[in-house]
Amino acid sequence: MYIENTVRYQAKSQEAGEEYAMMLPPGGHLVRDSQGQVYTVAMFHQMRCLDIIREDYATRRASPLRMHCLNYLRQSILCMADTRLESILQTGNRTVSLSSDYVCRDWTALYAAVEANGI
């Protein structure tokens, strides 16, 4: 994947809510097994948390989930510990170049699995 700044997924745009909502499966991110136990797929939980933080920022309010989400995303990032070196464009204000090729896990396979299993 080529990572770069994008005009999509802005915090305050009119389309932002819809764009973020489309990152979750149609039924949301919570699933039940045959015994009724409730689960969530970590990536969907992370994307929902990102949207909660975006909503709080855009509306200037503080939802009760914001601190949970900040801690959850912090811990998720630490757990994955991406050690890739990122180039610095300007040393004065330490602007990091996002323009780079990345090898990512196939998240489309996760969506396909969720859809195939009726989740």
Model confidence over 42-94: pLDDT tens digits?
Answer: 999 999 999 999 999 999 999 999 999 999 999 999 999 888 777 777 666 66
What mean pLDDT value characterizes the chain? 83
Which residues are paired to 111 by β-bridges?
none
Q: Which residues contact 101 (CB under 8 A, 6 or more apart)?
A: 1, 2
The residue with tokens 């859809």 is: 115
Q: Is 105 exposed, middle or buried (0-12, 13-18, 19+ CB in 10 A)?
A: exposed
Percentage of the chain beyond pLDDT 70 is 86
Whole-model pTM above 0.95? no
- The CB density around residue 4, as the number of other CB atoms within 10 Å, is 9
Domain ranges in the chain? 15-114
